[in-house]
Structure 1
Amino acid sequence: MIESVLVANRGEIACRVFRTCRAMGVSTVAVHSDADAGALHVREADVAVRLPGSAAADTYLRGEAVVRAALDAGADAVHPGYGFLSESASFARAVLDAGLVWIGPPPAVIEAMASKTRAKRIMAEAGVPVLEAAEPPLIVKAAAGGGGRGMRVVRDLAALDAEVASARAEAMAAFGDDEVFVEPYVEGGRHVEVQILADAHGVVWALGTRDCSLQRRHQKVIEEAPAPGLGGAGGGADRGGGGEE
């Protein structure tokens, strides 16, 4: 049974996980950079562990430091939240190798889907339609992350090289990976997501839709669920699939 969870994240993300842990009677461990020493998630946790440094690349993105913090604090499990190391298969493996519980998808699943370029290739091979770059307008995206980081809209091909270089620099600073890709920029399109949840027993739930079209600098401001105007999109458990996800 899990008695203590370290959340490898910060801010609102960590606070939400801490709230659930408190409701379940599970103690919580926060990690923080020097810049976040006084942050709310640090104050709300039962235990807080300092990650020396101020930049994300020196703190929240250092998987070995986070694993060490979990062991030092006596945590049983690590919850990555989203962003940072949540899509790092090597981090998930490091957590498991340390004898801790990893609250998230198995490393093999993360490895397959963490990179947007790899995920697009898998989807295309499975016959799922994907966007392919053609003529402007185009959008440059970071392969290893989201949240609007490492994204640039290109309306003139003459500016493409410069925007790719700029996106790579931002992606490296935010995610520790400078891989980017280019696809068509859909003018006026709606951003609709379908949330999927699966357990270790092969049960998969479709949790319905959400519309994330209202954005600022390519970062979601409001998410509305269910997505309006799509008809009857429901959720439920599907026990027909196999494998651990």
Structure 2
Amino acid sequence: MRQLLPLALLGGLIGCSSQPGNPDGIWINQPVIDSAREGGSLRETLLAHGPNLEWRIDSQRGSATYSNGFELGEGRLIQQKADTWSVDFDGGLQESLSLDDDELTQAGSGSGPQQEFRKPGIAVAADAPPGSSFERALYDAYLGGTWKIREGQGQGGLVIFHPDGQVEGLPGTDRYALCLAGDCAAMAGDHDSIWLQQGQQGSPWLFERDGDELRIQEAVNRAQFDEVPEYHPGRQAWLLERD
């Protein structure tokens, strides 16, 4: 099996940018970002253009690490040609990466389709957890701008979702996180999920994005107390519209 690591472990791997012909640095899944900017279903966007969301490459150490929003896979980077590398994982699995100017391509394989990656436009700290560059770009593309509360508590007020996960103007909330993969996605089923938090207290909510409208709904758990949660849309808490 591939060596999978919790996302918090490899925070300080790479913060440098690459030179021409050099794959080193951080690369994010640009088609996901572009599709998210159109304002549709985040879940469908991730399914269409994922599963990998970010690569971190260090040719000096011979390592390449991908993030899919839930886990990391760390492999051994081996140069095959001037602009092509293989990434070998424990268990005999392998991915192929190629560099063409400012685009890194992951070839299609048994683990997924061909995927395209570019350098992030938003810089993160060198010790930021893996996946942070992709998340900042996604949050900016998907929720950037100013939103007005059309319905719900705080009606008429303005809400700003910052790309670092802070939120202003949404009553009872100062942090948020979009669900990208893993347990939160499994528990939400066909729905998009967002975590809203104030201080140390938070909970999952479901949402629907349709262009410049964002509906945030209570997440109602229909599973039994001894089962894995199964969330379905409940009461609408807010209707936001991008100004």
- After TM superposition, the score normalised by the length of structure 2 is 0.31
Q: TM-score, normalised by structure 1?
A: 0.30
Q: Which has the higher contact order (CA 8 A, sep 6+)?
A: 2
**Structure with the higher helix share, 1 or 2:** 1
